[in-house]
Amino acid sequence: MSNLHNLFDTLHKLNAGSGREGLFYSLPQLEKAGIGPLSKLPVSIRLVLESVLRNCDGKRVTEQNVRALANWKSKGPRTEEIPFVVARIVLQDFTGVPLLVDLAAMRSAVARLGKNPKLIEPLVPVDLVVDHSVQVDFSGSADSMRRNLDMEFQRNRERYQFLKWGMQAFETFKVVPPGIGIVHQVNLEYLAKGVLSSPATVNGSTSTVYYPDTLVGTDSHTTMINGLGIVGWGVGGIEAEAGLLGQPVYFLTPDVVGVHLQGSLQEGVTATDLALTVTQMLRKAKVVGKFVEFYGSGAAALPVVDRATIANMAPEYGATMGFFPIDEESVAYLRATGRSEEHCRLYEAYYRAQGMFGIPKKGELSYSADLELDLSSVVPSVAGPKRPQDRIELPNLKREFVASFTKSVAENGFGKSSDDLSKTFQVALQNGYVPGGGSQEPISTGQSLARNTNPLTELEMANNRPTPDVITQTTVAVDGPIRHGSVLIAAITSCTNTSNPSVMLAAGLLARKAIERGLQVNPLVKTSLAPGSRVVTDYLEKSGLQPYLDKLGFSVVGYGCTTCIGNSGPLATPIDEAISKHDLVAASVLSGNRNFEARVHQSIKANFLMSPPLVVAFALAGRIDIDMVHEPIGKGKDGRDVYLKDIWPSLREIRDLLQTTLHPEVFRQLYRDFAQLNPKWNEIPSSTGNVYQWDTASTYIQEPPFFLNFSLRPGEISEIKGARALGIFGDSVTTDHISPAGSIKKSAPAGRYLLEHGVPFEEFNSYGSRRGNDRVMTRGTFANVRIKNLMVPGTEGGVTRCFASQDETASEAISIFDAASAYQKEGTPLVVVAGQEYGTGSSRDWAAKGTALLGVRAVIAQSFERIHRSNLVGMGVLPLQFKDGVNAQSLKLEGTETYAVRGLGAGLKPQQDLTLEITRANGRTESIPVACRIDTPIEIDYYQHGGILPYVLRQLLAAVPKPGSPA
């Protein structure tokens, strides 16, 4: 129980409603005390300030930190770092399992030092939602979900056992089991409280202190919670570990960009269209690393679910947050999702007392930059084919696709000729493959999967739902032409949209209208629906729309990320073969937020983000090169052309359904008893004890080497010299390029390792699911099949040239892992050279961990993505930035050079210039200045300690003078 301070007389009473009283740190009082002009500050800054004030202890957080943030200047220099102590932490399983592995490894290290392993314990509540592991192995049939869940448990049993160990070993570590929902949607609908409370003492008496719900999550889309007025963003697993061990999350005082929203969305325009428009607009406005705060009458009129859709895509527009302040809509959302009346009253009372209730109007607050968006100007849009910010207005999609199809690869196109577009290739699936991705399960010759082709009866249409016996599978021949531009994956996926009932209901309504007109989806299209929570199924069932989605192949495949994270499962082998044989530019359509190359599926090159109803529409059309305004989607049962406008639901239809489908009791019931919703979780056995008993035979969970040979004192910062380049990369290298999450190839170093350890190919699972095993992950670093190392021009995949002295194959391409191993053997340090936006994409600590374990000492790039840069420092890897206009091309780097970094050592300062010395193969040396991107003083400490984890462990051990008793 913490002892509360009363700095600046800010500890005030709060009437929490329902006869309850408590305390809170009053920001209006802080302003009255003359500390700063708080009521003009952006709301997001004030919420962070509350944490800084409340946690001020003179050590981790000082009075100077409070004063500095209270005097935030909209256009001031950004040199101060803010120590932000968050109230809670959310994790998903891909990032959460390795985090738990690190915690377990820290406990092992503490036990080896003869101290009490319980010293390592989360100090704030941690919730891990298992959502990233479900894969679409089966789709398009009623039992898809059950079969996918079976596969998921079969593949992930060891990981789930380990999570169960964590649940019993750590007191504040909770797990939402698989099959319940997606982390950010579960956070929005259930975990988030808006206001939290803790018992505390003041002058010896006990009280309750109330404070804002704030968090960090180990997933970049943690920002979805900003839609509910909660401050939070994605951090790397290593920062989250420090956060949960009581360290503040440090970040540079941000600029806050105000986006004034006015007007309202037009008929036919969805929240997804708005999110894509905002993404494009804010990318152009260069909001990378900044807070974005939405305000104005347009923002006030948006329901929380629309705000959450926009907030979710903050990583795509590059902002740290996409924040909406708190107002009546926020309270209404908490009420509608089953939070108690008592809590809703407390929530409103708290923010009113803080002077932060209501969406600000224009001119009320000062922002670093002001942007305007009239919501009525938003039009139906998609984004693609390779980046989420490349928005295309729907009527222009055909033209734009054809243009990128013929553009050269250098111009980010596909480098094809326009004649290729008219070629078609026949694929036949009668030889026993289920097109819905079930290629792992052959079915007998002559049999093939089909959508249900039975028309609904008039009675069923009148009742809005078919009777169960009509929904039966009948078979149709599954063969047909595919071509460039064929849509082969159509996925209603991703918490971005599945948390928003308006777009999910729109998809169902469009499916119903399509069926009524007699349209069908070609079974060559792999269709799937992965709701972000069971609530979605409840309202799609109650509204009678799910059977229509089923009939088009959009049956529920699971409650998890699926296609959004690249777990789209295999395509039928003949389709995959045809794509590969003819080098087809096939398309996916998905309601997700990311479409980088090889993210959705390794064989699909053109990936388009769009709203759920458009996903259904493009599945029906079967091709991406269609002008949805002037060309028909297909022919109806009456032989007449059917256009998108004929089946597009009206806003009124959607609103009518919304009112009848969302009930607080449903949320309460579906979030009450997880075990009952997924009994398979109960069947997983769990080991016990405070220290994990590592199984050296496991290919999923291994003790990482981070704390082996751990000493209580850090070493000195040493210079880097004689380093070789492990890779030279271009722009926009994503964390998925560096540390892929998807499937593992047999021939890749990780695949060879698994085969050597007796894991058959069918049980490889994905890289993401094997992040608990550093041996697999180090081998998987830079192993994305699409990464292009400019040291080996014309190749793709994780290959390089190796100049290790004992290696005689420098002219041949070898795997990056093999090269790194050879360099490590002879003690040669390594660097990586890259272009703009290095490490863009999802936050992924293995992108930094793997880099460090390969022996890379520095990454020299033109610019870095925010989280990845801090993760590199967090793993003891030095991020260096070229000066403007300098890059690998201007320096004519080939990979034959050696590198030295001069100026490293004691006295290193954040953001100081260092010297990069490049020695060419002919012995000529040149020196250039580079900026050291260790940005803050605390990062210097992390770097000196060899990373954040050794730093935190040494701090914790230093705080325990006497040896405790090992468990």
| Residue ranges in contact with ligand SF4 by CB under 6 A | 92, 131, 182-184, 219, 221, 494-496, 561, 564-565, 592-593
Nearer to ligand SF4, 312 or 678 (CB): 312
Nearer to ligand SF4, 280 or 595 (CB): 595
The DSSP code for 365 is S
Nearer to ligand SF4, 192 or 918 (CB): 192
Provide DSSP, 584-621: ---EEEESSS---TTTS-TT--EEEE--HHHHHHHHHH
CB atoms within 10 A of CB 954: 17
User: Rounded to the nearest 5°, which phi and psi values hold at 149?
Assistant: -65, -40
d(CA 932, CA 928): 13
d(CA 638, CA 517): 8
d(CA 658, CA 654): 6
Q: Shortest approach of ligand SF4 to residue 49 CB, angstroms?
A: 29
Q: Which of 900, 916, 734 is nearest to 830 (CA)?
A: 900
Nearer to ligand SF4, 130 or 182 (CB): 182
Q: Which of 528, 435, 453, 462 is nearest to 490 (CA)?
A: 528
**b or e along 427-451 (b: 16 or more beta carbons within 10 Å of the residue's beta carbon)?**
bebeebbbbbbbbeeebeeeebbbb
Tokens of 413: 């196109």
| Measured CA distances, 481 to 575, 606, 622, 674 (Å) | 10, 18, 11, 44
Nearer to ligand SF4, 322 or 649 (CB): 322
Q: Shortest approach of ligand SF4 to residue 562 CB, angstroms?
A: 8
Long-range contacts of 749-757 (CB under 8 A, 24+ apart): 749/779, 749/780, 749/783, 749/798, 749/815, 749/817, 749/818, 750/776, 750/777, 750/779, 750/780, 750/783, 752/779, 753/779, 754/699, 757/699
Nearer to ligand SF4, 35 or 224 (CB): 224
Within 13 Å of residue 426, how many CA atoms lie on the same side as its CB?
A: 3
d(CA 588, CA 590): 6
Q: Shortest approach of ligand SF4 to residue 131 CB, angstroms?
A: 6
Strands (E), 641-783: 641-642, 720-728
Q: Which of 855, 733, 868 is nearest to 787 (CA)?
A: 733
* Amino acid code (one letter) for 58: G
Q: To the nearest 10°, the Cα dihedral for 267, 269, 271, 276?
A: -160
Q: Shortest approach of ligand SF4 to residue 794 CB, angstroms?
A: 32
Q: Shortest approach of ligand SF4 to residue 590 CB, angstroms?
A: 10
d(CA 820, CA 825): 9
Nearer to ligand SF4, 309 or 527 (CB): 309
Nearer to ligand SF4, 494 or 800 (CB): 494
Which distant-in-sequence residues (6+ apart) come within 8 Å of 531 by Cβ? 181, 498, 504, 537, 540, 556, 559
Asked whether 531 and 555 are in contact (CB, 8 A), the reply is no
Nearer to ligand SF4, 289 or 560 (CB): 560
β-pair partners for 373: 261
DSSP H or E run through 175: strand 173-176
Q: Shortest approach of ligand SF4 to residue 526 CB, angstroms?
A: 18
SS3 of residue 271 by DSSP:
helix
Nearer to ligand SF4, 380 or 592 (CB): 592
Question: ∠ CA 952-958-963 to the nearest 5 degrees?
Answer: 120
d(CA 878, CA 856): 9
Q: Shortest approach of ligand SF4 to residue 841 CB, angstroms?
A: 11
Q: Shortest approach of ligand SF4 to residue 558 CB, angstroms?
A: 11
Q: Shortest approach of ligand SF4 to residue 739 CB, angstroms?
A: 15
Cis peptide before 613 (omega within 30 of 0): no
Asked whether 110 and 116 are in contact (CB, 8 A), the reply is yes
Nearer to ligand SF4, 498 or 732 (CB): 498
Q: Shortest approach of ligand SF4 to residue 736 CB, angstroms?
A: 11
Q: Shortest approach of ligand SF4 to residue 594 CB, angstroms?
A: 7
β-pair partners for 173: 126
Q: Shortest approach of ligand SF4 to residue 275 CB, angstroms?
A: 12
Q: Which of 129, 148, 130 is nearest to 140 (CA)?
A: 148
Q: Shortest approach of ligand SF4 to residue 251 CB, angstroms?
A: 21
Q: Shortest approach of ligand SF4 to residue 221 CB, angstroms?
A: 4
Nearer to ligand SF4, 145 or 200 (CB): 145
Nearer to ligand SF4, 485 or 841 (CB): 841
Nearer to ligand SF4, 326 or 491 (CB): 491
The DSSP code for 760 is -
Asked whether 837 and 863 are in contact (CB, 8 A), the reply is yes
Q: Shortest approach of ligand SF4 to residue 222 CB, angstroms?
A: 9
Q: Shortest approach of ligand SF4 to residue 561 CB, angstroms?
A: 3
Nearer to ligand SF4, 568 or 778 (CB): 568
Q: Shortest approach of ligand SF4 to residue 182 CB, angstroms?
A: 5
Nearer to ligand SF4, 221 or 866 (CB): 221
Nearer to ligand SF4, 131 or 239 (CB): 131
